Structure 1
Amino acid sequence: MLIIRPIRSSDYDALYQIAVESGHGFTSLPVNEELLRNKIKRVEESFVKQLDKPFDEGYLMVLEDTETGEVVGTCGLEAAVGMVDAFYHYRLGTEVYHSEQIDVRNEVETLTLCHDYTGSAELCTLFLRESYRKNNNGRMLSRSRFLFLAQHAARFGETVIAEMRGESDAEGNSPFYSWLQQHFLGIGFVQADYLSGLGQKAFMAEMMPKNAVYVCLLPEEAQKVIGEVHRNTRPALNLLQAEGFRCRGYVDIFDGGPTVECNINDIRSVKESRLLTVNIGEMPASTTGYIISNTLLADYRATSADLLVSDETDEVTISAELAAGLMVAQGEQIRVLAL
């Protein structure tokens, strides 16, 4: 059985290996022991923290193959970004220049550095090992976060965002970043991305252009990739767009990839998920797959299975094995979402 659960200290080695495998552009998991151990510690504290409103909590979960005990994937949520470390984006805008005297009107696209998403929740750190990229495992892993959001909405900002990886080559070189490196930062894309992942962002405030950047003055290669996603990220973007996420004109400051957003209550899977009361017994035959989670926090568990769910009742029968995996007992509730 594949079970999603909160990460714990004993998962460090698996998390480090995932950080290595994820490669360039996966900013949330730099290959750095101190940062990864601190990330796990922060997550463990977040899952047991009592709070009145979201601040800087992180909820990183792992996908475990219970037959082997192997951790094969991760998915994460940030409660409210930018509350401790600055959270930068470029905001796409337009400046209009018009002269009646010479009868010329021009609209010029601009990029302006901003912190507009401060306080928003974030979908992040989605990774699945290649050998498990089958049988809707990736879809289950990604969408399971919406069940967690639905169940624990008060722990998150009202706007939920996701940063989509922008264009870069196999060596991690970004066409969008090259002009920034040449004229402002002076360090390579991989190094800048790594420092950002470490939370060492002072160089951004010190070296990034303070005024709006005119897109038309950038190299053509850089202009072409603004708002474009990396080919490996296209399926993830399609999934989020189906959930109601849209790009509102914000892009990553390093690779130009789009950031998409949706109000937490407008996310399709949040709205469509249902709470059902558990009956433990022999599961009726069904060919309809569901993502299933318990309603707990520190002991959160999620998985997928074929269930017989009816609109006529708020009860569902699950097997004893499935109930044990989800850590639920007879008469307790689970949250379900059609896969």
Structure 2
Amino acid sequence: MAPHFNMQILRPIKNTDFAALKQIAIESGHGFTSLPVDDNLLQDKISRSENSFSKQVETPFDEGYLFVLEDTKTNEIVGTTAIEAAVGTQVPLYHYHLGKTVHHSSTLNVYNTVEILSMCNDYTGRSEICTLFLREQYRKGLAGRFLSRIRFAFMADQSRRFSDTVIAEMRGVSDAQGHSPFWQWLQEHFFSIEFPQADHLVGLGDKVFISELMPKYPIYANLLSPEAQAVIGHVHEKTKPALRLLQKEGFEHRGYVDLFDAGPTIEARLENIRTVQESYIVSVEIVDSINCGQTYAISNQKLNDFRAVFTDNVLFDEKAEILKINRKEAQALNLENADTVRIFAL
């Protein structure tokens, strides 16, 4: 039974969360391709996640783990966060890689370095963090940071289910109508469909048109419109806080950008991610009341019964490697005395 006090608990999505997921899909709007407003697709996402959590896995393949953040006071779903175990294994994952080519003539004494965009599938098989969304009224406080970082704790505990490299595709620059300057150029020359439509098709998993219509040869960046060149590798204004958070975790941009809006894809090795390196596995001691003022994210290290919360109703004794935890939080995490948890300071 859910405890009757205000706390936010992260858990795997269930079939009964469909209506809440649909509401979040509606609120997330343009450019949030991983949650399309389509009943069948959302239902598939839930079933796929339930199957992934219950599946025996030796090496990552095509699993998708979708979590929801539930407010215990209202029983409302207030946010989502997800991990794809191995991208591009079922449907190809395309990127542009920004490289350089040199045009040199010693006869004419001309030396030009030109940036080129080459289409590739270099991130096939990598794990991807995605689908982080928090409803507007819950965006103050630590919930957003918790949703972003807790995934790394889960991945560290279930590392054989994931690749040793983790990527994140960041949303590129587009205007209020969802139009991207980068897409504008591609559309004029190759596609003849609007950006929101192309984006929606990708969200539906229909990527065949990419390989059919995308230019097969590298594109010289200096041939693009100035507006398109200006946004390569840049993120949407609203995505800047998320990018900063991941850069703090050790994610870097290695020149890979999205095919449609040219937003950067960033990467890190799982073992080098700050949250993984700075988290502790400790055993718990359940107490009736405690408060230390320092907020910790705590996960119960389970798979199907995975639960995580963030709270300051704990006291962490680093020397003894013991976490004293309030009874209510312990119940929310399905913990008993001497169980182990993974914690990190939020």
Q: TM-score range by the shorter chain?
A: over 0.9
Picking from 101, 114, 125, the partner of 1:108 is: 114
Work out whether 1:255 is the aligned partner of 2:261.
Answer: yes
TM normalised by structure 2 equals 0.97
Asked if 1 retains the 8 angstrom alpha-carbon contact of 2:61 and 2:86, the reply is yes
> What secondary structure does 1:297 align onto?
coil
Q: How far apart, in 1, do the equivalents of 2:13 and 2:92 lie?
A: 25
1:6-85 matches, cutoff 5 A? 6-85=12-91
Question: Which consecutive unaligned segments of at least 5 residues does structure 2 have?
Answer: 1-6
1:211-290 matches, cutoff 5 A? 211-290=217-296
Higher deviation after alignment, 206-215 or 279-288: 279-288
| AA aligned opposite 2:340 | Q
> What secondary structure does 2:256 align onto?
strand
Shift of residue 282 of structure 1?
A: 3.0
Question: Which consecutive unaligned segments of at least 5 residues does structure 1 have?
Answer: none
Asked if 2 retains the 8 angstrom alpha-carbon contact of 1:290 and 1:304, the reply is yes
Large movers: runs of 4+ above 2 Å: 282-285
Picking from 326, 330, 333, the partner of 2:337 is: 330
Shift of residue 311 of structure 1?
A: 2.1
Q: How far apart, in 2, do the equivalents of 1:23 and 1:203 lie?
A: 23
Higher deviation after alignment, 12-21 or 240-249: 12-21
Q: How far apart, in 2, do the equivalents of 1:235 and 1:153 lie?
A: 27
The corresponding residue for 1:320 is 327
| AA aligned opposite 2:320 | T
Asked if 2 retains the 8 angstrom alpha-carbon contact of 1:123 and 1:160, the reply is yes
Picking from 309, 320, 323, the partner of 2:316 is: 309
Asked if 2 retains the 8 angstrom alpha-carbon contact of 1:291 and 1:304, the reply is yes
Q: Deviations over 1:75-112 (max 9, x none)?
A: 00000000000101000000001111000100000001
The corresponding residue for 1:173 is 179
> What secondary structure does 1:309 align onto?
strand
> What secondary structure does 2:73 align onto?
coil
Asked if 2 retains the 8 angstrom alpha-carbon contact of 1:282 and 1:317, the reply is no
Q: Deviations over 1:182-203 (max 9, x none)?
A: 1111111111111111111100
Aligned identity (percent) is: 54
Work out whether 1:163 is the aligned partner of 2:169.
Answer: yes
Q: How far apart, in 1, do the equivalents of 2:136 and 2:273 lie?
A: 28
Shift of residue 149 of structure 1?
A: 1.1
Shift of residue 283 of structure 1?
A: 4.1
Shift of residue 219 of structure 1?
A: 0.3
| AA aligned opposite 2:33 | T
Q: How far apart, in 1, do the equivalents of 2:342 and 2:288 lie?
A: 19
Structure 1 vs Structure 2 CA RMSD: 0.8
TM normalised by structure 1 equals 0.99
> What secondary structure does 2:80 align onto?
strand
Asked if 2 retains the 8 angstrom alpha-carbon contact of 1:243 and 1:269, the reply is yes
> What secondary structure does 2:317 align onto?
coil
| AA aligned opposite 1:254 | F
**How many matched pairs?**
339
Shift of residue 328 of structure 1?
A: 1.2
> What secondary structure does 1:113 align onto?
strand
Q: How far apart, in 2, do the equivalents of 1:326 and 1:195 lie?
A: 38
Shift of residue 285 of structure 1?
A: 3.1
The corresponding residue for 2:128 is 122
Picking from 295, 298, 301, the partner of 1:295 is: 301
Asked if 2 retains the 8 angstrom alpha-carbon contact of 1:283 and 1:317, the reply is no
Q: How far apart, in 2, do the equivalents of 1:65 and 1:228 lie?
A: 34
| AA aligned opposite 1:251 | V
| AA aligned opposite 2:328 | E
Q: How far apart, in 2, do the equivalents of 1:266 and 1:273 lie?
A: 12
Higher deviation after alignment, 305-314 or 191-200: 305-314
The corresponding residue for 2:204 is 198
Q: How far apart, in 2, do the equivalents of 1:315 and 1:173 lie?
A: 52
Q: How far apart, in 1, do the equivalents of 2:86 and 2:335 lie?
A: 29
| AA aligned opposite 2:12 | P
Q: Deviations over 1:236-295 (max 9, x none)?
A: 000000000000000000001001000011101011111110111134331111111101
> What secondary structure does 1:298 align onto?
coil
Asked if 2 retains the 8 angstrom alpha-carbon contact of 1:110 and 1:212, the reply is yes
Q: How far apart, in 2, do the equivalents of 1:335 and 1:283 lie?
A: 21
Q: How far apart, in 2, do the equivalents of 1:48 and 1:328 lie?
A: 20
Q: How far apart, in 2, do the equivalents of 1:310 and 1:330 lie?
A: 15
Work out whether 1:141 is the aligned partner of 2:147.
Answer: yes
| AA aligned opposite 1:272 | E
